[in-house]
Amino acid sequence: MASSMILCVLLCFITAAANPIICPNLNSAANYAVIAASTVTNTGFTIINGDMCISPSIAMTGFYPPGKINGITQLGNGIALQAQGDVCSAYNDLAGATPTGQMTGVDLSGKTLTPGVYKFDSTAAISIAAGILTLDGRGIYIFQIGSALSTAANSQIQLINGAKAGCVFWQVGSSVGLGQDSFFQGNILAYASIVFSGGVTLNGSALARTAAVTFISNTVNPQPICDCC
């Protein structure tokens, strides 16, 4: 066990040295699967496998029943305010990271990417139905998106060769729309809203700075904090 842990740390150190990327820190926001500013709404049997908070609003509908939150809910209190403030700080840090790849106008469908900071001046998308984005290798992935992020129906993000959802960060300049029955991975930090179509699974967190998070029979599985920092 000890040798395995040492190997893990060494691999992470080597990856970090080869990929000098900022280490994102969500601080208290890392404790939450979902954070919203205005409201969280749900239709259908959504399962949030973690904590949720809303600040400054306290509006939440569609849970207990039919949706289920397997964690603690903080609504409009000081704890929620701190978490929302930490989302703002992390969002700004991610936006300020130095890009290692310019991706404006590139469809993510069918692409394989290694750890890095990928910049989109405007929108980004997995626009092809059942399209696959593959993230290959242990390390930190940051996507800087100037406006909206969208994914097509049945699209998915695959992680291979040590890539982890907790080390993937999506900094989105406006709103996010995830397509029907899609499978998304990583921590979403959106300036505005995050909208889940029916049947979406997110391995990561949905963090909305100024607006709402909307669910329709979805599953959210928060991930461990990135261990490559």
In terms of residue numbers, what domain contains 118? 27-221
Q: In the numeric block, which tokens belong to residue 37?
A: 């500013």
Is there a domain that residue 135 lies in? yes
Report pLDDT for 35. Answer: 98
Report pLDDT for 14. Answer: 39
Q: What secondary structure does DSSP assign to 74-134, as a single string? A: EESSHHHHHHHHHHHHHHHHHHTSPPSEE-TT---TT-EE-SEEEEESS-EEE-STT-EEE
Q: In the numeric block, which tokens belong to residue 66?
A: 């039919």
Is there a domain that residue 1 lies in? no
Report pLDDT for 20. Answer: 54
Beta bridge partners of 126: 151
Residues 142, 35, 128, 156: is their CA dihedral positive or negative? positive
Is there a domain that residue 101 lies in? yes
Is there a domain that residue 93 lies in? yes
Q: What percent of the chain has pLDDT over 70?
A: 91
Q: Is 31 helix (H, G, I), strand (E, B) or coil?
A: helix
Report pLDDT for 144. Answer: 98
Q: Give pLDDT < 70 ranges for the chain.
A: 1-20
Q: In the numeric block, which tokens belong to residue 210?
A: 């100024």
Report pLDDT for 22. Answer: 78
Cα 214–217–222 angle (5° rounding)?
75
- How far apart CA 131 and CA 85 sit, in angstroms, is 34
Q: What is the pTM of this model?
A: 0.91
Q: Based on the structure, what is the number of domains in the chain?
A: 1
Q: Is 26 helix (H, G, I), strand (E, B) or coil?
A: coil
Distance linking the first and last C-alpha atoms of the chain: 21
With CA atoms as reference, report the closest residue to 200 among 176, 214, 223, 217. 217
Render pLDDT for 168-224 as a digit per residue (tens, 0 to 9). 999 999 999 999 999 999 999 999 999 999 999 999 999 999 999 999 999 999 999
Report pLDDT for 17. Answer: 42
